[in-house]
Amino acid sequence: MMSAGDAGFSALPAGGAVMDPFDGIGRGWMLVTGGGPGSWNTMTASWGGLGHLWNRDVCFVFVRPQRHTRRFMDGSRLFTVSFFGEEHRAALEYCGSHSGRDVDKAAMTGLEPFEPVPGCVSFRQASLVLAARTIYTHDLSAEGFLDDAPLSLYPHSDFHRMYVGEISAALSGPGR
Ligand SMILES: Cc1cc2nc3c(=O)[nH]c(=O)nc-3n(C[C@H](O)[C@H](O)[C@H](O)COP(=O)(O)O)c2cc1C
């Protein structure tokens, strides 16, 4: 699989401002990709965060139990979150409405996988890639909710698993 340099990506300085997470995640969406070059899966996510925890820059992603991506998140500690320009919205819609159990998402969308850092997978069309290593997981539970509104989003009690990933690299794509 192609490396970051060959794909035209360059490293952003550690601790540098990468994006506005409210807009970038909530409205722009991201692809969460678990696994490595030999075996990976990706899905669209619009819930998550970027921040600072335990003296590390981290990202937070939330993956429901029934997602195919979940077994890749649990099977490997390395994952990426990838952000795209508006011209790739259709690809993100596809990756958020089809399962990797049934389809080859790269073939169906034209997204081209590459290896941004050894052991991780992202896509050459991304404008920004954050490579992360899971350092903590937590399964949400009904008891934790202090407000009924978010709890009502789980009529089948399929609570997300939260993954806290320590960000090891932030890479800017050629089209950014
Ligand atoms: C805009 C959007 C945001 C989504 N956000 C999440 C999310 O944060 N967590 C999650 O588990 N699923 C989320 N999904 C649903 C998954 O992307 C979707 O179920 C996908 O088909 C799972 O693919 P997989 O089975 O290949 O993992 C979102 C879908 C869309 C369209």
**Residue 41 CB less than 6 A away from ligand 1:** yes
Rounded mean pLDDT of 82-96?
A: 97
pLDDT at 17: 58
Q: Is residue 46 part of a domain?
A: yes
Q: Is residue 142 part of a domain?
A: yes
> CATH number of the domain that 25 lies in?
2.30.110.10
For residue 69, the enclosing domain spans 10-172
What's the CA-to-centroid distance between 44 and ligand 1, angstroms?
5
What's the structural domain count of the chain?
1
Report whether pLDDT(15) > 90: no
Q: Is residue 5 part of a domain?
A: no
pLDDT per position as a tens digit, 109-118: 999 999 999 9
pLDDT at 14: 66
d(CA 53, CA 149): 27
Sign (positive/negative) of CA torsion 147, 152, 153, 159?
positive
Q: Is residue 89 part of a domain?
A: yes
Q: Is residue 41 part of a domain?
A: yes
Structure tokens at 75: 């099977």
Q: With b meaning 16 or more CB within 10 Å and e meaning fewer, what string describes 11-34? A: ebeeeeebbebeebbeebbbbbbb
What's the CA-to-centroid distance between 45 and ligand 1, angstroms?
5
pTM given for the model: 0.97
Q: Is residue 4 part of a domain?
A: no
